[in-house]
Amino acid sequence: AQSVTQLGSHVSVSEGALVLLRCNYSSSVPPYLFWYVQYPNQGLQLLLKYTTGATLVKGINGFEAEFKKSETSFHLTKPSAHMSDAAEYFCAVTFSTGFQKLVFGTGTRLLVSP
């Protein structure tokens, strides 16, 4: 069975600082990995995804993530935080496109201070 662990329910950074949100997964087969962002009182929007191919994937709003099989990780990064990045971020895993019951982590709330 798949599972996702997001370390840190809250992460605080200053505007302009590096953003690092951690995600580790557990999967018995090659995973498909996703990062979604949720702004207050809104739905989830896909930031980026890894299915196959290049292990460094770039997403919207300057975010990127690297799939590291040896570390079972898919950490999300952004070189320079912006105030508009303040939101809840969810890592999710599934293992194929045959059945897409995405399993989500508990989320990390990103706080950005001026």
What's the rounded Cα separation, in Å, for the pair 37 and 95? 21
Q: Compute the Cα dihedral for 105, 101, 56, 37 and give only its sign.
A: negative
CB of 80 to another protein, least distance (A): 26
Residues 92-111 that bind another protein (CB under 8 A): 94, 96-107
What's the rounded Cα separation, in Å, for the pair 32 and 11? 25
27: contact with another protein by CB under 8 A: no
The set of residues, in sequence order, having a beta carbon less than 8 Å from that of 13 and lying 6+ positions away, is 19, 81, 110, 111, 112, 113
Three-state DSSP class for 27? coil
Q: What ranges in the chain are assigned the alpha helix state H? A: none
Q: Which stretch binds another protein (CB under 8 A): 12-20, 35-43, 57-65, 68-76?
A: 35-43
2: contact with another protein by CB under 8 A: no
CB of 28 to another protein, least distance (A): 17
Binding mask 52-91 for another protein (x = CB under 8 A): --------------------------------------x-
Task: Name the site residues for another protein (rule: CB under 8 A).
Answer: 9, 32, 34, 36, 41-46, 49, 51, 90, 94, 96-107
